[in-house]
Amino acid sequence: MTGGKWYGRRWGLLVALWAGLWLCSGCASLCTKHLTLYRDTQTKGLPTSSQALLLTNPDLARAVAPGANLPAGLPWALKQPAYEADFYLLSLDAVDGQPVYQGLCLDTTTTDSLEVHPGSRRLAVRLELFGPWGQEKVKETVTLDLVPGRVYFLYPGSEGLGNRQLVLKVQYLDLAYDAGVRTRVQDWNRQHQPARTITD
């Protein structure tokens, strides 16, 4: 191989390496662009009165509806290297077979608040259990009949947790889903989940 060809090939490899690093940095930046409120379609700007709101995080539900009488149960799991007691996460991963729309990120996060079209909707639900014994995931598909303008809190029933099973329970929160509730959800997510930065 002549010196010119070797130099050209080395230069091409350097350009390819630089392009790869640039693309990776671009992907990383995309992962700071989750929606502040996930939804079942990419369509934006829909009035809250025509939608239903699903919540799975009890801390978020209490922030949105301070007077709500939520069921006692396991605490919501925060990220930590080990768990000395039992915790859980409940994520709404898909609606009618389509993944939840989270925004511009290439990765996905736990869907603990979701704005959806009302009616009979088929939800893919993922329960993650954490404890000193380790971690376990349980997935189920359920069908819910949702009413426009209502807020729902979804949680795992205690009768299934002992056997590491998901028995999904639904509680109606005593408030209408309006623009003020949507804003409270977005503000809470923006404060507690910094990766959520897009409001549309």
* pLDDT above 90 coverage of the chain, percent: 57
Answer whether 193's CB lies under 8 Å from 38's CB: no
The reported pTM is: 0.83
Amino acid occupying residue 187: D
β-strand 196-198 against 34-39: which pairing, if any? parallel
The whole-angstrom distance between residue 95's C-alpha and the CA centroid of its chain comes to: 13
Q: Give the chain's end-to-end CA distance (angstroms, integer).
A: 56
d(CA 5, CA 94): 52
Q: How confident is the model at residue 8 (pLDDT cuts 50, 70, 90)?
A: low
How confident is the model over 18-45, as a mean pLDDT?
Answer: 67
- CA angle (111 as vertex; 99, 43 as ends), nearest 5: 55
At 95-124, the pLDDT tens digits run: 999 999 999 888 889 999 999 999 999 999
Using the structure block, give the residue that is written with the tokens 């700007």.
45
d(CA 89, CA 35): 19
Answer whether 155's CB lies under 8 Å from 91's CB: no
What value does the mean pLDDT of the chain take? 85
At 121-160, the pLDDT tens digits run: 999 999 999 989 888 999 999 999 999 999 999 999 888 7
d(CA 93, CA 101): 9
